[in-house]
Amino acid sequence: MSIQSENIQKLVERREKARLGGGAKRVEAQHAKGKKTARERLALLLDPGSFEEYDMFVQHRCTNFGMEQSHTDGDGVVTGCGTIGGRPVYVFAQDFTVTGGSLSKTMSEKICKVQDMAIRNGAPCIGLNDSGGARIQEGIDALAGYGEIFERNILASGVVPQISCIMGPCAGGAVYSPALTDFTLMVKNTSYMFLTGPAVVKSVTGEVVNQEELGGASVHASKSGVTHFASETEEDAIATIKELIGYLPQNNLETAPFKETADPVNRVDDALNSIVPDNPNKAYDMYAVIKSIVDDGAFLEVHKEFAKNIIVGFAHMNGRSVGIVANQPAVLAGVLDIGASRKAARFVRFCDAFNIPLVTLVDVPGFLPGTQQEYGAIITNGAKLLYAYGEATVPKVTVTLRKGYGGAHIVMSCKQLRGDINYAWPSAQIAVMGADGAVNVLYAKEMKENPENAQAIFEEKKKEYEELFSNPYQAAQKGYIDDIIEPRNTRFRVIRALEQLAGKRQQIPAKKHDNLPL
């Protein structure tokens, strides 16, 4: 065998060994936990044959605690570039079979390299996290590595889409990279996120809690809102990433890809004409409205289990990606609270950063009252949503279906927050407050002075108030509503509005950056 052949054989063998990560036994242990390896996950995520790996032969440089005696090519993370649906993406997948996926300085350098390439070349960056945290043997070097990754998360924010999928442990400082990205996914029963683990919690607070209760997928999907998607399996999580990517542009200078549809633009739905109950206090399901007006009824909901009183997610309308924000009357009457405000504000800002038009469906009676909300800073959190809509320069189409009361009306993409096209259904009620509350404020003295006629006065003034405000016509007369539309035609009218706004150009005053009410 020639020297050249020997060299090639050595390369082939070394590649094969590198692809095994920590070795066959550790791969088996990973499978026994119901988890796939880093490369198996990437094979599911990327188009077949598209993956180009970088830094396969990188090894750690640690000489402490006997680490110099153990080296593995790749050093616990697989990095590179591939395609999803033919579109380039940059990826890294932590390999738990190598030192538990713990982060070394060289691992961070590999991750930073693909982050830099994603920013420079304008393509999404996707991280598959499965790591025991910082590699303790490397001390401050490992911490510095995290800092380098976080800085790139920050620099990439609003430039390219960033997606994190937690497929195992993610604890301590490691949680901040996913928190800085645009979307986080978790897998139920096999992934968890927390700053301090159960043992530390018990020693400091005395609270006894297990990993799943402290930071499992279901907890973060429903209680904290840390994760946007909670999937049953790794395959489901990866399928969600691929679906999500289909709604997003490559970067902030592009628009999302067009998706062909046979769904007619002028399709009408007569059911919408009767979906709003005659009783203003009766609920209906906003999902039915959303699925009626979007292409083929397809809607990718974000934060499905968190703050259910507001709905956010992606859809296509006449082939174009849109972000949907909608109050949900079936949960807490669609009222805005702290969680709903944060959830919607984050989503609106993402859509604005990546040129995705916003369609807002409004039925909101106000903000949730109470000491818990006030002490939790509902004022500041509500201002986040107001700020997000007010600064957004993408096309904004708003439809008020029923209630639009008080400050909540303003917050939900009203005309004064530079809403481009604002429609209302005939059932819309746009006012400072509902009729009952308004009459009790305006005529409290008169009713108190005439107790025997108080009920008659109340009914008379309520009817007067309803005739004035329990309809959209006064708002339309003043130009705050551009048109009152028949509900069955909502899909057509929204699509036509979006087409009119396709060339929209709007600037904000020059500034270093804004000061969002955090």
DSSP state of 302: E
DSSP state of 303: S
Q: Which residue has the tokens 């006064």?
A: 474
CA angle (507 as vertex; 503, 508 as ends), nearest 5: 150
Residue 446 is which amino acid?
E
CA 501 to CA 397: how far, in whole Å?
Answer: 9
Q: What is the largest CA-CA distance in the chain?
A: 111
Count of residues for the chain?
518
Are 135 and 143 in contact by the 8 Å Cβ rule? The answer is no
The CA dihedral of 16, 18, 24, 26, to the nearest 10 degrees, is -170
CA 136 to CA 133: how far, in whole Å?
Answer: 8
- In angstroms, the Cα distances linking 58 to 93, 105, 226 are 15, 11, 33
Chain centroid offset of residue 159 CA? 16
Which residues are registered as beta bridge partners of 78? Answer: 93
What would the two tokens of residue 45 be? 């995520």
> Which positions are catalytic?
172-173, 407-408
The CA dihedral of 390, 394, 400, 401, to the nearest 10 degrees, is -140
**Pairing status of strand 52-54 against strand 77-84:** antiparallel
CA 409 to CA 366: how far, in whole Å?
Answer: 7
Are 257 and 243 in contact by the 8 Å Cβ rule? The answer is no
